Amino acid sequence: MSTLSRTPEAQGAEPGIALRSHLRHIGALARRNALQIKQDPESMFDVLLMPIVFVLLFVYVFGGAIAGRGNQQDYVNYLVPGLMAMMGMNVAMGIGTGINDDFRKGVMDRFRTMPIARSSVLIAKIIVELGRMLVAVAILLGMGFLLGLEVQTSAGGLLAAVALSAVFGSALMWVFMLLGLALPTAQAVQGMAMLVLMPLQFGSSIFAPPSTMPGWLQAFTDYNPLSNLADAVRGLMGGGPVAQPVWMTLAWTAGITLVAAPLAVARFRRKT
């Protein structure tokens, strides 16, 4: 971590950082975060077990009621793309509690004295969390294939679906990072995150077609970014229209990032 060594002029204000140095700092910090996971493997339990639990729970508990008895395989093809949209949001919640915990433990006090761009700390966290998210998606797809998931388009369509989910998930990470920086405790971050997660997840097309919902809820699902992402992933994996949901998802991604990322960086600078 020599790239993060302290220099006398680094105390206090953030110096001007060249792009090459910025990238080097991001790499060093990402390596630090990855080593933390290696030293604390229990931190991976959520991404390893959550996809398995969700698939088994919804396919075998709710699948018969939603798709009809004996039609669980059809429900797998509907559910798994929707869960890919949900994985990013659930993994992103961890980044908020993690950064809040880093402040509580004093980790950020050390970064305050280093000649690094404040954004490099946050970007490094996002890179590592994206890696965790991709592990969760891989396990989710593995469970889906075991239960009869079919990709009716191509390998390229599957990769595009994974990439779209990752891009949207990275935007959500800025939101939860902002919550982690703004709220006083990790418990408060988790509580606020659940208030955001629950309506977006269950008021969407992830688990059931919106056509079965009352009109006012259908209107909500039409504008819910998770519905757009779930519909885009289904189209990329199973065929069907993809242009509108893909562009809507990308628009949501850009909008969320443009608003949340500068606010998170500014908040982090004030706290450090």
Residue 191 domain-assigned (yes or no): yes
Work out how many domains the chain is built from and give that number: 1
Residue keyed to tokens 């995150």? 193
Residue 3: inside a domain: no
Question: Residue 1: inside a domain, yes or no?
Answer: no
Q: Please give the pLDDT value at position 113.
A: 67
Say yes or no to pLDDT of 24 above 70.
yes
Task: Give domain status of residue 167, yes or no.
Answer: yes
In a domain, 12, yes or no: no
Q: Is residue 13 situated within a structural domain?
A: no
> Is 79 within a domain?
yes
Integer Cα distance of 23 and 215 in angstroms: 49
- Give the pLDDT score at 94: 81
Instruction: Look at residue 94 and tell me if it is in a domain.
Output: yes
Least confidently predicted of 102-116, 117-131, 137-151, 242-256: 102-116
* Residue 161 belongs to domain spanning: 18-271
